[in-house]
Structure 1
């Protein structure tokens, strides 16, 4: 699980990784015979009984630096990824991060560029990045179902993936995502929830050297239950 790629000098939430660090992390995967792919490609391979050498790479929030900085590095390594975007904040900023810094979000053109790039999947992060567990029924429907419809129209593709803002979900939210037609959904630590609509992920940041990556990779397999249906 990645977020922004760029300058890490002002990064109070530790959500940014520098281009140099990302390049080294992707190289670490490649040297171990692992290949980064989109979540859709990973789950499709798992459904066929394969995918042991694949790693799903995700980038939350849909910052412009995904297209500008992450995609060239991914292509250099022959990797793919999924970027989760916010169609309710096109060309906007990450206003939900109270401490900043402000970063630009992808607009229509940037999302189309990402969707047209080989190996890159565009998924929904909701409309506006709110805590869906606190949303009323109408807001939840709009954030989940309407965002999928808007992205499908924008990209000309069937949007398969959803990512819960902040990683927050409960049974009601997960049911809404499944009922909206998403094939899968990504969380962070889904707790007791399980299945392809509650996929756990590992946060990766600027401090993750090769040693930390190795430990996170090993510990993740020990801490997480096997995902049912994936």
Structure 2
């Protein structure tokens, strides 16, 4: 779940999580899509659900424009080579179990990969942090391993989905460091990425993520100056994002500070 859950009009800018800054004078840029649950559930008070059919149409829309969705790991590796043009980052927050049943088949069909930010402190649990809306199951150990063996990137969303800007240093360290170690034990591989729950972050939280050994972290809007790859911005996509809305969001990504620029 993220702080940004509004549904923009077809002519609106990408939904804001925090006031965005314009970026200019940088090299080639790529943008990053932020998804959550993929299901046919009509009860969606937080605008975090996209149907499999809508996801398929959105990925087809990318393909028609010569764009391909990839994980953050692939996107950042391509950026390091100066080859990020034509790529779009695909991220799925909260680690919903429906990623395996509903998103994976669509990603396979479209030749895409993605990053799934999961909660190892809520294995086989549910989205209890949402006060309203339906309870949805989260990935357990078997599901996380299925995601990893399918060629997707598994990354951390913290342990239990807390607003990390409001927790003690001890809790922050546990949420950031322990989640990384637990996921490495489940997948048998390194865990490079982190995603701030609700999109909330500040300099203290970003510094904790950096110290924990992550390579990057995803936010919503760019973070404080100097955060760099530890506050990578994203664009929220949901079931209402048809072709006209996607085109507006694509065009405004860089203008509103929602693009990942060259280093």
**Structure 1 residues 178 and 8, CA gap change in structure 2 (3 angstroms):** same
Q: Is the 8 A contact 1:196 1:229 kept in 2?
A: no
Distance 2:223 2:201 in 1: 9
> What is the SS of the residue equivalent to 1:24?
helix
Summarize the alignment of residues 159-178 of structure 1 with structure 2, pairs less than 5 Å apart. 159-178=191-210
Task: Pick one of 176, 182, 196 that aligns with 1:144.
Answer: 176
Q: TM-score of the superposition, structure 1-length normalised?
A: 0.97
RMSD: 1.3
- How many Å separate the matches in 1 of 2:164 and 2:233? 17
Give the whole-Å Cα distance in 2 for the aligned partners of 1:90 and 1:96.
14
Structure 1 residues 27 and 229: CA distance shift in structure 2, 3 A: closer
Q: Which of 56, 71, 96 is the matching residue for 2:104?
A: 71
Which of 218, 238, 248 does residue 215 from structure 1 map onto?
A: 248
Moved over 6 A (4+): none
* Corresponding position of 1:80: 113
Corresponding residue for 2:43? 10
CA contact (8 A) 1:187 1:198 kept: yes
Within the candidate set 117, 122, 125, 2:157 is matched to 125
TM-score with structure 2 length normalisation?
A: 0.85
C-alpha distance in structure 2 between counterparts of 1:50 and 1:114, whole Å: 26
Greater helix proportion? 1
Q: Structure 1 regions of 5+ residues with no counterpart?
A: none
**Contact 1:127/1:144 (<8 A) preserved:** yes
Change in CA separation of 1:17 and 1:225 when aligned onto 2, cut-off 3 Å: closer
Match of 1:185 in 2: 217
Structure 2: give runs of 5+ residues left out of the alignment. Answer: 1-33
For the residue of structure 2 that corresponds to 1:57, the secondary structure is strand
1:51 paired to 2:84: yes
Of 186, 190, 193 in structure 2, the residue corresponding to residue 158 of structure 1 is 190
Following superposition, the deviation at residue 100 of structure 1 comes to 2.1
Secondary structure of 1:36's aligned partner = strand
Check the 8 A contact 2:218/2:233 in 1, yes or no.
yes
Structure 2 CA distance for partners of 1:74 and 1:228, relative to 1, 3 Å: closer
Partner in structure 2 of residue 135 of structure 1: 167
Change (3 A) 1:9 1:38: same
Aligned-residue offset at 1:221? 1.4
Report 1 or 2 for greater relative contact order, CA contacts < 8 Å, sequence distance ≥ 6.
2
Report deviation, 1:7.
2.0
> Does the aligned pair in 2 maintain the 1:4–1:17 contact within 8 Å?
yes
Q: Is the 8 A contact 2:35 2:238 kept in 1?
A: yes
Instruction: Give yes or no for contact 1:195–1:228 (8 Å, CA) kept in 2.
Output: no
Q: Distance in 1 between matches of 2:64 and 2:147?
A: 26
Q: Secondary structure at the match of 1:176?
A: helix
